[in-house]
Amino acid sequence: MRSISAMGRTVLLACVFGVFCVATSQAATISIVPGTQNATVGTPVSVGIDVSGLAANESIGGVALTLAFNQALVSGASMTLDPNAKMGFALDPVNNNFGSGFTGAGGSPATIVFLADVSITTDAALKALQGTGFRLATITFNPIANGLTPLTLGLINGSAPLSNGVGLAPLNATLVSGSICVGGNCTVTPEPASLLLLSTGAAALFARRRRKTAKSNI
């Protein structure tokens, strides 16, 4: 049984922040969905924060994440936690929300911290809602200037991003960030492998031109 006492809620919240819990194996993935998308100034754009890959014996009782973005390009407009009530959060939106929101007036980072509803009293009931994955939150931004802003998922004070259903251990997960291109003409920085290929190609071209110049001077 999941505890619904004040002590049980304190233990669960502590596990969300990684205070005194024993780590479990990494299985889940938390991703920005869609990973990349285009936007235009003045038209709101939304992204989901989805969890996937939950094992048969895993359920989520708490979430503790940050989402950083370039606030010169987009500002935070709204945040909906657990939009499909897979943690029962819609039943108790006040008591289970621990300071989720944007820094300042829609500024970065957004903090996403909340717990499963205590009215869901068994792990089986929680697992039946969640399955192998679901949407943790939906974030809406107002694009305010053209450019490419990363959407970077992070941890709070080094804590695990998720807590298990019984509140006894953090549930580690791989974080997959994303981006929004405002204006549709964004420069993407090449990956290191691409940079190596470009530099190798440039060096070969330079050497070829030097040989060609040397021959013409003979």
pLDDT in tens, 66-80: 999 999 999 999 999
Calculate the average pLDDT of the chain.
Answer: 78
Instruction: Report the 10 Å Cβ neighbour count for 62.
Output: 28
- Both tokens of 91, joined, read 């039943």
176 Cβ partners below 8 Å, 6+ apart? 29, 30, 31, 32, 35, 153
Instruction: Tell me the pLDDT band of 166, cut-offs 50, 70 and 90.
Output: low
pLDDT in tens, 99-115: 899 999 999 999 999 98
CA dihedral sign, ordered 98, 37, 160, 116: positive
